[in-house]
Structure 1
């Protein structure tokens, strides 16, 4: 006797059947890197959630520095979620209600980080408070560029996994 299809199975079937260009647009809502979207699309069909996550992991490992820049370009500065962007607002919920002094410290630390590395500070902000994000920013600031790029790669992977799960859970 076969098991009935779960909502995740139904979403996976739809994702597996979507035209390439349409899927690329959907995937770019998860990660703004064109290369990432292409690599994840080419890893279809996804038999389950784990296979979709594995496609994300493989694509993240394959991204060049320029591709990582593309991926980071789709993210708001920590502490300033994009107005009207539900994803940005949800992922940075931990900064909502933070006091002005903390937000000013976060803005100053962001500016220093961006000056040093040439890109936004990227962290998987889901479930983090403004205080913990500021502490992580300060902890990572002394890193060299190569070390920081690999940390960013890992953070992007976590963010993408959360967004993939959201897609699969909400259709």
Structure 2
């Protein structure tokens, strides 16, 4: 679909499309209410401003673990750098995911596009040293990056 087509959708349909980008309903409603957008940059900027800490838990609930072989759709494409990874790196990612979830109480959320499994593991290990408030802010920034890429794809534009 194009941006013009998304702008023309009724509110419920536009929100459904955005919920495929990010599972947070409050965020989706706010972005839909800001229509129409003249260009992708405007839509992405509005989406980023609309995203708040209040959306993070619902958004993370819609994301699979990094390295989860059952990931589908956008997550599978975004995690393509993990697909052919060395089994030892995959095992370390699985263990890192468990340690991360135990420490922070939610999935390790990272913009995985263009990153290798080893790089994602290195980032995970570094983020385990964050305090919970810092990690929450980092996760929110990563979610904003994921949303930017997914919004571009939603309106038929390949992300830069």
Q: TM-score category by the smaller chain?
A: over 0.9
Instruction: Give matches, 1:15-164, under 5 Å.
Output: 15-60=6-51, 62-64=52-54, 67-83=55-71, 85-164=72-151
Secondary structure class of the residue paired with 2:88: helix
TM-score by length of 2: 0.93
Q: Do the aligned partners of residues 25 and 150 (structure 1) sit closer, same or farther apart at CA in structure 2, a change above 3 Å counting?
A: same
Structure 1's unaligned 5+ residue stretches are: 1-9
Note if contact 1:30-1:163 (Cα within 8 Å) is conserved in structure 2: yes
> 2 CA distance for matches of 1:98 and 1:54?
34
Structure 2's unaligned 5+ residue stretches are: none
TM-score by length of 1: 0.88
**RMSD of aligned C-alpha atoms?**
1.5
> 2 CA distance for matches of 1:117 and 1:56?
25
> 1 CA distance for matches of 2:8 and 2:129?
45
Runs of 4+ aligned structure 1 residues displaced above 4 Å come to none
